[in-house]
Amino acid sequence: MSTVIDMADRFLAIAAHPDDLDFGAAGTTAALTEAGHQVIYCLVTNGDAGGFDDSISRARMAEIRQAEQTAAAKAVGVDELHFLGFPDGAVVADLALRRAISRVIRQVKPDKVLAQSPERNWDRIYASHPDHLATGEATAAAVYPDSRNPFAFPDLLAIEQLEPHTVTEMWLMGGNDANHFVDITDTIDRKVEALLCHRSQIRDVTELPQMLRQWASDTAAAAGLAEGRLAESFRIVNTA
């Protein structure tokens, strides 16, 4: 397990919906930004299929969720967000999505990409929403080979002057084969603060803090951390 990154790395965190990154990695994101690393968010959808109030139009829900995600990002030290605008509930890992993610990678030029696992987790089915899986697969393809290949989506280079870029690592969240655990005991309160920004998605705000702490406690125990510690888990893949 490692909780410290030697260099001042730039992370691009990519997920399907507003709140996905906060559930999966907000404690880690807060720890990274506190340590001087830059984290940038990319949301594939605006979350227009979310919420519980059918009196709110889907266009208005997208606006609400985009604002919630922006506030949640600020709570963990993130101030740059990219919203790709793909339809919530209908994400597919096609060339259009790969191209859009490749564009952001070439714009941001991250050292590492944090993303959703493209593999279904039968132990935690809620992490394996079809949009999550499709976003994870498209992100993996964008990291390798698309964003580094000058002949993939050639208009990105020829028209937009976006040079190819190689990402050195992917951090996958939500899978069942973690090989890296980040101690978030000192940043759990900021994770809770971030999730509470997503009020349109929370039926009972009183239960959320304890639920998040219990999940993080279970993860820490699986990592072999001392009792009372809290953690988030990832699968790190070398993509250099």
pLDDT score for 2: 43
In a domain, 1, yes or no: no
In a domain, 162, yes or no: yes
Q: In this structure, are residues 91 and 45 in contact, taking their beta carbons and an 8 Å threshold?
A: yes
In a domain, 113, yes or no: yes
DSSP string, 1-27: -----SS--EEEEEESSTTHHHHHHHH
As a whole number, mean pLDDT of residues 123-144 equals 96
As a whole number, mean pLDDT of residues 97-125 equals 96
Tell me the C-alpha distance between 163 and 148, whole Å. 8
In a domain, 114, yes or no: yes
- Between vectors from CA 114 to CA 109 and to CA 117, what angle results, nearest 5°? 135
pLDDT tens by residue, 117-126: 999 999 889 8
pLDDT tens by residue, 12-52: 999 999 999 999 999 999 999 999 999 999 999 999 999 99
Whether 3 shows a pLDDT value over 70: the answer reads no
pLDDT score for 176: 87
- The total of structural domains in the chain comes to 1
In a domain, 116, yes or no: yes
pLDDT tens by residue, 177-224: 999 999 999 999 999 999 999 999 999 899 999 999 999 999 999 999
Whether 166 shows a pLDDT value over 90: the answer reads yes
pLDDT score for 240: 92
Q: Provide the pLDDT confidence category of residue 4 given band limits of 50, 70 and 90.
A: very low
Q: Provide the pLDDT confidence category of residue 6 given band limits of 50, 70 and 90.
A: low
In a domain, 54, yes or no: yes
pLDDT score for 1: 42
In a domain, 3, yes or no: no
Residue 178 sits in a domain whose CATH number is 3.40.50.10320
Computed over every residue of the chain, the mean pLDDT equals 96
pLDDT tens by residue, 53-83: 999 999 999 999 999 999 999 999 999 999 9
In a domain, 5, yes or no: no
Residue 234 belongs to domain spanning: 10-238
- Between vectors from CA 196 to CA 193 and to CA 197, what angle results, nearest 5°? 95
Q: In this structure, are residues 41 and 82 in contact, taking their beta carbons and an 8 Å threshold?
A: yes
